[in-house]
Chains A and B, each alone.
Chain A
Amino acid sequence: MTTPTAAEPLLAINDLRVTYRRRRASVDALKGISLSIQPGQVVGLVGESGSGKSTIGNATLGLVPVTSGSIRFDGRDITRVRPRERKALARSLQAVFQNPYGSLNPTKTIGSTLAEPMRVQREFGRAEIDQRIRDVLNEVGMPDDAAKRYPSEFSGGQRQRIAIARALVLSPKLIVCDEPVSALDLSIQAQILNLMCALKAERGLSMLFISHDLAVVRYISDSIVVLRHGEIVEQGPAARVYEDPRVQYTRTLLAAAPRPHGT
């Protein structure tokens, strides 16, 4: 990173490499990625399919094994977290995924889904769990009685609100958001983006925001990292990268994305 920082960053990824082994060949999904997120900062990851942007999120969440390099989060090394330590880590690191239809278990009520992260922690009493569920549902703009319903009773945008509520219920410091608005219609996408901006402002949440859509990333992020073929091609403050890209690939990406314009 070019910007000097006084405090230790919340998330520091250093020379991260991830190699997927297929039957014969192996694929280098990430070829030495370094980036960091300060407390309260939103870092946007953009790139086309196959650029490795989701792999960075999944490696941070422990969903794919890291080949080499390190990931430090909140003062500790989380490059290879054991299943047992994952529980403690879950209190400060959460995730929101893309597909609103697959992000909730259809066989469980919303209340049960939201209670689960707290039940895993084994520290919350029945009353506290109920109270927190009401609080997060309100915070994401859903009524209390949503807890008694099943995911099938909600639209895509509402399910994404609930998925965000699940990520918030343990009051984490960082949320990894993997294409959280890509499957939503424009007006619903705007509602969710506003919600996430509000959460960032009110809670001081940090986010690793992954998207293929530069406009979305630019809107929500403080800083942007542009990826291509598993490597960082450009990173910097969001406005700078968007208004004045220094690398040809970023310029191509910006030029290629169809933007509304009057002629």
Chain B
Amino acid sequence: MTTLLPAAALPGDVSRAGGPGATGRSQGAAGHARRLLRRPLGLVSIAYLLLLAVAAIAPGLLAPGDPQAPDFAHVASAPAPGHILGTDALGRDMYTRIVYGTAPELAGILIAIAVAAAVAVPCGLAASLSKRVDGVVSSAGDLVLSIPSMVVLLMVLAFSQSLNGAMAALGLLTAPGLMRVTRSAALPVAEEPYVAAAKVFGLGRVSIAVRHVLPRVTGPIVVNLALIAAHALIMAVGLNFLGLGLHPPAPSWGSLLSDGAAALDQQAWVIIPPGGVVALTVIALVLLGDAVRDVAAESWAPRHHTPRINSRGRRRDDRRRDAPGEQAPGMADALLAVRDLRVAFPAVDGGLTTVVQDVSFDIRRGEAVGLVGESGCGKTMTGLAVLGMLPAGARIVSGAIWVNGRDVTRLPDRERAALRGKTIAFVSQEPMVALDPLFTVGFQVAEAVRAHARVSRAAARQRAADLLALVRITDQQRVAKSYPHEISGGMAQRVAIALALAGDPEVLIADEPTTALDVSVQGEIIELLSALQAEKGLAVMLISHDWGVVSGLCARSVVMYAGQVVECARVADVLSEPLHPYTAGLLGADPHLAVPGELLRTIPGTVPPPWTWPQSCHFQDRCRYVQPDCRGQAIPLVPAGIERVSRCLHVEVLAGAEAAS
């Protein structure tokens, strides 16, 4: 078999996801056990439960004495020499009796969880994979849930006189809950494409359930089993306490508790050892469940190389208050001017991981500028920084964002928030996210109007109708009365734009506003944004990966790669003659511009993650024109024509090569 294509630049890719040494992950049951033992809580609970298992199987190993032998010198006593946990009302050694009393309780737990798991897990999995089974199983489950469990347990005990029988019944009665948990966890997994792929290659239903669905849902199942085990222990102890389980003088934790309760007036201590052991066991079961769940997920979940994000947002005292009031350099007529913006997340090692590096660009009133790049290039992060809505942990390390001659990065939080919607508005990729499903479209737009201006309800309604007309919705009456689910995606995006315009903003940030829409609607939305930009003199910052969308709306584009601006130019100039290898690569990869039958000109590899960005050219490892000096120093943005800059040392080489090809 021939190798058709070169390996896709693995160094960058591997470090993105796993990092060096990620293969060293131990696998299989042995690996699980080792990782479980490495967790302190897992280790302690396993050790404790193992001890209980020994007590249940071979009590003689732990307690050499006779559980029934009385010591009349010590009756109902606190801990004393020879009786580390004291004695009960008949002078029998408490420690020995607790050890011998383990077996019935532990057996009860095991029977209950075994029955619950055996019934619930297969039923839950089957229900998730087949609608027909789901109907039957869910109704049966509801039926069982409606049975009063205590009555059933007492009946089983009355007829069978067996604690184990009662615990099996308890397992059966708790199964519907576990079945529901399994089913609801498994349903989304059953919809995954890899399950469809497995069906296509002929894997049977049982194998699909066991191999492809079960491993994804073990977490919730294990946690629930731990809770069921804890519940079963309490029930078993309770039944023994009431004397409905084991018969005296055979010891059980429940009977010890009940003996203790009877002797409480002689010696309060007698209730503490059996009560303590029950409490400890419940805690151990729950902790073990949590640890097993975490370990099971750990074996395949991604390793987090991404910087750990601080839960606290930007703090007041972090803000730089130095040198206020300086004028925005660059274009004199810029409405929005971003200058040397640097955004970073705290890194795991305590330092900072920069995700946006020295980004500068201007947008004039009535102008649309496209921020172009692939995911991981920092274009959305730049948009959020302008909006003042960076995710928790991320902060502006340096640089300025001038809006109307004011550096908004220096404003207090309250003034910053007041700018949002009123001066700077935002339209996202997913229009439905902007709309509340519980309220009509008209109500939501009117609310947005009232949030920005103190007007009467009637005036707000009128303004909302005007806004809907502004975004070219023809039957505003009907749309205003509709709920979000009643309108199409394209209509929802229009409404989202109307919401954004409610505060009469000057800058509109549109983050991939057409990506989630059908092609026939994409053009309409671009047209609408274009018209609004002209009519209202809006400055539009369009974030997009799609050159088609960018060229439809924007006169100028800012191309970003790995956190940096790599090229800034008029869109027409970029399309006819890109002056950065990344821009050229992006255009070469666009199937719109491709010739069928000829291979697309691809960029090998993927965008490197922020923590691997070099000081020098960020694109060097994927660049076909790379020279030794590209790896040397930081590359500045250099003028490369009228209103155009490029972050490439070898623009002339690129221009020559592109002209030749």
Residues of A within 8 A of B585 (CB): 187
- Whether A103 lies near B197 (C-beta < 8 A) is yes
Cα distance A187–B522 in the bound complex, in angstroms: 21
Contact B591 A193 (CB under 8 A): yes
Nearest-CB residue, chain A, relative to B593: A260
Measured CA separation A144–B631 after assembly (Å): 30
Question: Which of B17, B302, B550, B594 sits near A219, CB closer than 8 Å?
Answer: B594
Decide: B200 and A194 in contact? CB cutoff 8 A.
no
Option from B519, B547, B596, B606 in Cβ contact (under 8 Å) with A212: B519
Give Cα A239 to B607, complex, Å: 33
Q: How far is the CA of A188 from the CA of B514 in the complex (A)?
A: 20
Q: Which of B59-67, B70-78, B251-259, B568-576 is near enough to bind chain A?
A: B568-576
| B547:A194 contact, CB within 8 angstroms | no
Identity of the chain B residue whose Cβ is nearest the Cβ of A83 in the assembled complex: B204
Q: Is the CB of B514 within 8 A of A148?
A: no
Q: Which residues of A contact B375 (CB under 8 A)?
A: 185
* B interface footprint on A94-122 (CB within 8 Å = 1, 0 otherwise): 11011100111111110001001100110
B residues in contact with A68, CB < 8 Å:
none
Any chain B CB within 8 A of the CB of A23? no
Query: Does B266 make an interface contact (CB < 8 A)?
Result: no
What's the least CB distance linking B545 to chain A, in Å?
Answer: 6
Chain A residues whose CB sits within 8 angstroms of the CB of B6 once the complex forms:
141
Using CB atoms, name the residue of chain B closest to A138: B3
- What residues of chain A lie closer than 8 Å to B572, measured between beta carbons? 262-263
Contact of A98 among B25, B193, B514, B518 (CB under 8 A): B193
Is the beta-carbon distance between B300 and A62 smaller than 8 angstroms? no
Known A63-B199, A63-B200: A186·B606 in contact at CB below 8 Å = no
Bound Cα distance A97, B200 (Å): 11
Residues of chain B with a CB closer than 8 A to A99's CB:
192-193
Residues of B within 8 A of A138 (CB): 1, 3
Give chain B residues whose Cβ lies under 8 Å from the Cβ of A258.
514, 522-523, 526, 546, 548-549, 551-552
Interchain CB contact under 8 A, A219 and B547? no
Checking B523, B587, B594, B602 against A255 with a beta-carbon cut-off of 8 angstroms, the contacting residue is B523
In the assembled complex, B14 has its CB within 8 A of some CB on chain A: yes
B545 near A261 with CB under 8 A, answer: no
Q: Report which residue of A63, A136, A153 has the largest number of chain B beta carbons within 10 angstroms of its beta carbon.
A: A153
Q: Contact at A190–B602, with CB atoms within 8 Å?
A: yes
**Which of B38-46, B210-218, B389-397 is the contact stretch?**
B210-218
Asked if residues A155 and B548 are in contact (CB atoms below 8 Å), the reply is no
Known: A141-B6, A253-B520. Contact between A105 and B593, CB under 8 A? no
Residues of the A chain whose Cβ atoms lie less than 8 Å from the Cβ of B3 = 138-139, 141
Task: Tell me the nearest residue of chain B to A185, going by C-beta.
Answer: B374
**Interface flag for B438 (CB, 8 Å):** no
Contact of B18 among A153, A195, A214 (CB under 8 A): A153
Tell which of A62, A139, A140, A190 touches B589, judged by Cβ atoms closer than 8 Å.
A190
Complex alpha-carbon distance, A224 and B354, angstroms? 45
Could you tell me which residues of chain B, from 514 to 531, have a CB within 8 Å of some CB in chain A?
514, 518-524, 526
A145 within 8 A of B: yes
Nearest A residue (CB) for B188: A102
Interface residues as binary, A70-104 with B (CB distance below 8 Å gives 1, 0 otherwise)? 00000000000001001111100111011100111
Q: Which residue of B lies closest to A81 (CB)?
A: B202
Complex CA gap A107/B73 in Å reads 61
A215 touches B17 (CB 8 A): no
The docked-state distance in angstroms from the alpha carbon of A193 to that of B547 is: 18
Q: Are B601 and A190 in contact (CB under 8 A)?
A: yes
Partner of B22, one of A143, A153, A193: A153
**Which residues of B are found within 8 Å of A107, using beta-carbon distances?**
215-216, 299-300
Q: Are B5 and A194 in contact (CB under 8 A)?
A: yes
> Which single residue of chain A is at the shortest CB-CB distance from B375?
A185
Please tell me if the beta carbons of B592 and A105 are within 8 angstroms of each other in the complex: no
Which B residues lie within 8 Å of A154 (CB)?
13, 17
B551 interface neighbour in A88, A89, A212, A260, Cβ under 8 Å: A260
- The answer for the CA separation of A167 and B201 in the assembled complex, in Å, is 9
- Report the Cα distance A152→B607, complex, angstroms: 17
Contact among A87, A199, A255 for B202, CB-based, below 8 A = A87
Is B520 a contact partner of A48 (Cβ separation < 8 A)?
yes
Check: B155 CB closer than 8 A to any chain A CB.
Answer: no
A139 to chain B, nearest CB (A): 6
Residue of A nearest to B191 (CB): A102
Q: Which residues of A contact B573 (CB under 8 A)?
A: 262
Are A155 and B16 CB-contacts (below 8 A) given A185-B545, A187-B603, A253-B519?
A: yes
**Residue from B22, B548, B550, B600 whose CB has the most chain A CB atoms within 10 Å:** B600
Counting CB contacts under 8 A, is B659 at the interface?
no
- Which residues from 552 to 593 on chain B have a C-beta closer than 8 Å to any C-beta of chain A? 552, 571-573, 575-576, 585-593
Q: Which of A120, A190, A263 has the most CB of B within 10 A?
A: A190
Do B201 and A170 have beta carbons less than 8 Å apart? yes
- The answer to whether B23 and A148 have CB atoms under 8 Å apart is yes
In residues 216-263 of chain A, which contact B (Cβ within 8 Å)? 216, 218-220, 238-239, 252-253, 255-263
In the complex, which of the residues A49, A95, A220 contacts B196, with contact meaning CB atoms closer than 8 Å? A95
Task: Report if B30 contacts A (CB, 8 A).
Answer: no
List the A side residues contacting B211 at CB < 8 Å.
105, 108, 116
Q: Is A153 a contact of B591 with CB atoms below 8 Å?
A: no
Answer yes or no: A135 CB below 8 A from chain B CBs: yes
- A158 and B7 CA atoms in complex are apart in Å by 10
Given known pairs A186-B586, A194-B600, A258-B526, the reply for A120 and B201 (CB within 8 Å) is yes
* Contact of A161 with B by CB under 8 A: yes
Asked if A142 is at the interface (CB within 8 A of a chain B CB), the reply is yes
Residues from chain B with a CB closer than 8 A to the CB of A117 are 201
Q: Distance in Å from the Cβ of B584 to the closest Cβ of chain A?
A: 11
> With an 8 A cutoff between CB atoms, is B205 at the interface?
yes
Q: In chain B between 10 and 66, which residues have their CB closer than 8 angstroms to a CB of chain A? A: 10, 13-14, 16-18, 22-23, 25, 27
**Any chain B CB within 8 A of the CB of A17?**
no
- Which of B216, B300, B596 interacts with A218 by CB under 8 Å? B596
Instruction: Find chain B residues with CB under 8 A from A103 CB.
Output: 192-194, 197
B151 — which chain A residues lie within 8 A by C-beta? none
- Min C-beta distance of A220 to chain B, whole Å: 8
- Contacts A93-B200, A95-B196, A258-B526; is A135 near B519 (CB within 8 Å)? no
Cα separation A63 to B200 with both chains bound (whole Å): 8
Contact A261:B575 (CB < 8 A) given known A152-B302, A213-B591: yes
A-chain residues with CB within 8 Å of residue B642 when the two chains form the complex: none
Contact B520 A238 (CB under 8 A): no
- Which residues of B approach A to under 8 Å, CB–CB? 1-8, 10, 13-14, 16-18, 22-23, 25, 27, 192-194, 196-205, 207, 211-212, 215-216, 299-303, 374-375, 514, 518-524, 526, 545-552, 571-573, 575-576, 585-594, 596, 599-604, 606-607
Q: A106-B300, A120-B202, A141-B4 known; 5 other A-B pairs, CB under 8 Å?
A: A48-B519, A141-B3, A158-B8, A186-B589, A218-B591
**16 residue pairs from A and B, CB less than 8 Å apart:** A83-B205, A88-B202, A97-B197, A105-B194, A107-B215, A149-B18, A152-B17, A157-B13, A157-B606, A170-B201, A186-B589, A190-B590, A191-B8, A219-B600, A256-B522, A260-B547
4 smallest CB-CB distances across A and B, nearest first, come from A87-B202, A190-B589, A258-B548, A97-B193
